[in-house]
Structure 1
Amino acid sequence: MDKIILSPSKYVQGYNTIERLEVYTSSLGKNSLIIADDFITKIIKEPVSNSYQNSSSNILFEKFNGECSKTEINRLMEIIQQNKIDSIVGIGGGKTLDTAKAVSYYAKIPVVIVPTIASTDAPCSALSVIYTDEGVFSEYLFLSKNPDLVIMDTKIIANAPVRLLAAGMGDALATYFEARACTAANKKTMAGGTATKASAALAELCYNTLLSDGYLAKLSVENKVVTKSLENIIEANTYLSGVGFESGGLAAAHAIHNGLTVVEELHHLYHGEKVTFGVLVQLVLENAPKNEIEDVLSFCKKINLPVCFKDMGIENINKEKIYEAAKLACAEGETIYNMPFEVTVDDVYSAILTANSLGEDFSS
C-alpha cells in the first residue's frame, strides 16, 4: 500500500494576521467572497476591509446563515456565479469553515480558511461535515484537496473562551495515540494510504507540545494574551493534529467519541472533551504503561478536560446505555478496527467502565 501525507498548501499563523489577509489571498483570486456569521463579521469586517483598501482585488461580504447544509451551500453557489467570484474565504467556527470548503469544492475555486477558535483539528483537512437545515448530521463530504490556505490569527483566538482551546487540546491529544495504533496495525488512514514517517513525527510532536505548553497556553487565554506557549498550542491543535490525524490515522479514541453520542446526557460537551475520554478508553484497551496513563490524566486535570463521567455531568452511570455506546463504537466501518488487535463490544464496554474508575480515582 502506498504511503500518503496530505496538508494545506500554506499555513500562516501570527498576531493580527487578519489585518494582512489581502497579502496572503491576492494570489488566489481577484474577486473573493468572504463568509462569516453576524458575531464574527462585527469583529473582522473593519480590519479585513482595511487590508483590501489599496488592493486591486475585490471582496464581497456575505452572512453565513449558521448551518453547513446543502441549502446554504447552494445559496452561496448562486452568489458566486452572479458575482463572478474566483475564491472564497471562510472566517469563523467549524460550520462556517466546512461550508467554505464545500462551496470551494463544488465551484472549483480556491478556499481560504480563517478559524477564530482553536477547538478542533478540522481546518486543515479535506473534509466537510454536511447537516440538514435543522442541524441533523447528513453526510461527510470528502474533498479532492486540502485548503489552499489556512490563516490563524493568534490575537483573535486568545480572546475566545478558554474551554474551546482546552477542547482543541483534547482533540489533539488523541492524534499521537491513534496514529501510533494505526502505524502498528499498518492500516489505511484518511489520506488513502498508510502513514509516512513525517505524519508520525508530527503526531508525536503534537503530543509533546501539549504536555510542555498546554497549561501555560490555558493561562494565557484566561488572561486574553498571546504567549509563546499559546502560539505553540494553536499550531499543535490546528496544524500538527490536523495533518497528524488525517495522514496518521484514527483509531479507538474517535470511535469511542462516536459511541458516546448515544448518551443524551453528554450532548452538551464539545467534540474534543468527549475525545479526551476516548483517549483514556483506548489506553485501557491497549493496557498502556501506568506512567503513560498518569501523564495523560495529569495533563487533562491541569487544563480542565474531563477524565470520568462525573466530570462530564453524569453522577449515576446507566450501564445499559454504556453498552449501547460500546456497540456504536464498534459499528461496521468504525475506526476502532484500526487498532493492532481484535476489539469486541465487550472489550470496549469493559474499557469504558475501567477508564471511568481510573479517572475517578485520579480526581479524588
Structure 2
Amino acid sequence: MIKDLNVKVGPQFYRYSEGAIDIVPELLQEHAASRILIVHGDISWEKARPFLTKVMNLDKEIIYEQYHGECSYNESYRIEDIINKNKIDFVIGVGGGKLSDLVTYASHLTNTQFGLIPTLASNCAPWAPLSVMYKDNGLAEGKTEHVKRQAAFLITDPALVIDSPVNYFIAGIADTLAKWYESDLILEQEEFSNESFPQMARFAARMCKEKILTESEKAIADMQAGTISEEFIRISEIIFAIAGLVGGLGDKYARNTAAHAVHDAISAYLPAVHKYLHGEKVAYGIFYQLALEKKWSTIDELIPFYETLHLPKSLTEMGVYPMSESTLKNIVQLIDGKQKVHLLPLPINEETLTTALIDLEKYINQ
C-alpha cells in the first residue's frame, strides 16, 4: 500500500451549465461570506460581468481587484495584503489559469475560503490545489506551490467559456492530453495495479486522451462557430475538471512528469518561448517525454493531430533550437532537479535527458 498518497479530489461544489453562476450567492451564504474580494482579469472580466449580476448585487461588502497578469510571489503577496487589510473572508477568482493559481495561493497564505469562476478552458488550474509560479516578467520560477485547501466551488457557464480565445482552448486540449502520457509509465507498474485511487486516476487520464483525440476537432470547430455543442461542453469540462481529477486522485504519481518538467525548464531559460501558451509548450513536452521513453511510433501517430491543431512538435519549430551548450545544460539540469521526473521507471540523468532533447529535434526535422 502506498503510504504517502495525498488524495485531494476537487472543489467542494462543481457545476458547469447554462445559468450555473446564478447559484454563487447561495454558496456564499453557505460559507457565511460577508466581506468578499473578487480578483479578476481585464478583457475576461468585461465578458464575465453580465454573468455575475446576482453576485454583484448582493447586500455584502464586495471589493474588486484586477490582477497584474502573472501568478508570481510578489503578486500573491499583494493580494494577501489586500485580503488582510480589508478583513476579507471569501475570495472569488474570475479569469484564466494564472488567476486561478494566484487566488488559490493567496487564499492559502491567508487561510481564506475561495471559489473560482473560470472564463476559459485552457488548463486544470481551477480544479487542482496547486499554483504554478512565474516571475513578474512572465518567465517560469520553476516552482509549484502545492496546498492542502481546495476551492469551495468551481462554477462556470459554457456561454461564457465559448466566448474566449480559441488558441487558449487548443492549448488546454494539449495540456490535458499530457495527463495520459505523463502518468502512463508510472501507473502501469505492478505496484499500482491494486491501488484504488491511482487506478481511478488512470481511468480518468485514459478518458482525457480518448475524448481529446476523437472529439477535439469538432469541439474547436463548434467553438469557432459559437455553437455550444455536446462536444464543446465535454472537451472544455475535461480540460478544467477531469484533467484536475487525475492529479487529485493519483497525487504525484499521476500529476505530471517530463512533459511539464521540460515546460518549466524552457520557460525559465528561453525567453523567446514566452509567446507560447502553457499548453502549447506542454504539447512539445509530450513529444519530449515520448522521446525520453523512445516511443517514436507514438510520436508518429500523434503528428497528424498536432499538425491539425498547429501545436509545436519541436524546439526548432518554436525558433529556439539550436541553442548554446550552456543553455542546454541549464535546461537539462533544471529537468533533472525535479523529483517528479525521477518517478518514471527509466534511467533519468543529465545524459539521457540531453539525448532525448537532441534526438527529438533530429527526428522531427528529418
Where does residue 287 of structure 1 map in the other structure?
A: 294
Equivalence for 2:31: 28
Q: CA 1:78–1:251 in structure 2 vs 1: closer, same or farther (change >3 Å)?
A: closer
Shift of the alpha carbon at 1:90? 0.3
Q: How many residues align?
A: 354
Match of 1:210 in 2: 212
- Which residue pairs with 2:276 in the alignment? 269
Alignment of 1:354 with 2:356, yes or no, is: no
Correspondence for 1:241 among 233, 240, 243: 243
Q: Contact between 2:18 and 2:159, CA under 8 Å: does it hold in 1? A: yes
In 2, the alpha carbon distance for the partners of 1:185 and 1:325 equals 31
Match of 1:157 among 155, 161, 164: 161
Indicate how the Cα distance of structure 1 residues 280 and 144 shifts in structure 2: closer, same or farther if over 3 A, else same. Answer: same
Whether 2:24 is the aligned partner of 1:17: answer no
Tell me the SS of whatever aligns to 1:34.
strand
- The 5-angstrom pairing of residues 178-193 of structure 1 reads 178-184=182-188
Alpha carbons of structure 1 residues 38 and 251: separation in structure 2 relative to 1, 3 Å:
closer
- Structure 1 equivalent of residue 178 of structure 2: 174
Q: Could you say what secondary structure the match of 1:163 adopts?
A: helix
Going from structure 1 to structure 2, the CA distance change for 1:227 and 1:337 (only over 3 Å counts) comes to: same
Following superposition of structure 1 onto structure 2, how do residues 86-165 of structure 1 map, counting pairs within 5 Å? Answer: 86-131=89-134, 140-165=144-169
Write the distance in 1 (CA, Å) between the matches of 2:324 and 2:75: 40
Q: Could you tell me how far 1:358 is from its partner in structure 2? A: 3.9
TM-score (norm 2): 0.84
1:112, distance to aligned residue in structure 2 (A): 0.5
Residue 16 of structure 1 deviates from its aligned partner by: 4.4
Quote how far apart the aligned CAs of 1:36 are.
0.8
Deviations 1:189-227 (A, max 9, x none): xxxx99621111111111111011111111122223321
Sort the Cα spacing of 1:186 and 1:65 in 2 relative to 1 into closer, same or farther, 3 A: farther
Structure 1 residues 224-239: aligned runs within 5 Å: 224-239=226-241
1:62 alignment counterpart: 65
Matched, 1:253 2:272: no
Deviations 1:214-241 (A, max 9, x none): 1111112222332111111112211121
How many angstroms apart in 2 are the aligned matches of 1:205 and 1:317? 36
| AA in 2 matched with 1:108 | N
Going from structure 1 to structure 2, the CA distance change for 1:80 and 1:281 (only over 3 Å counts) comes to closer
Partner Cα separation in structure 2 for residue 161 and residue 183 of structure 1 = 34
Query: In the TM superposition, what whole-angstrom CA distance separates every residue of 1:286-337 from its partner, at most 9, and x where no partner exists?
Result: 23372x33332222222221113343235x6237367436523543234221
Greater CA deviation, 94-103 or 202-211?
Answer: 94-103
SS of alignment partner, residue 196 of structure 1:
helix
User: Which secondary structure state, in structure 1, belongs to the residue aligned with residue 336 of structure 2?
Assistant: coil
Q: What CA distance in whole angstroms lies between the structure 1 residues aligned with 2:305 and 2:167?
A: 15
Task: Please name the residue that 1:309 is paired with.
Answer: 315
Higher alpha-carbon deviation: 215-224 or 328-337: 328-337
> How far apart, in 2, do the equivalents of 1:303 and 1:213 lie?
12
SS in 1 for 2:126: helix
- CA RMSD in angstroms, aligned pairs only: 3.0
- Verify the 8 A CA contact 1:182 1:249 in the aligned structure 2: no
- Secondary structure of the 1:26 match is helix
- d(CA) in 2 for partners of 1:179 and 1:41? 35
Structure 2 residue runs without a partner (length 5+): none
Letter in 2 for 1:208: E
**Aligned match of 1:222:** 224
Distance 1:39 1:231, change over 3 A: same
Structure 1 residue 167: deviation in Å?
Answer: 0.8
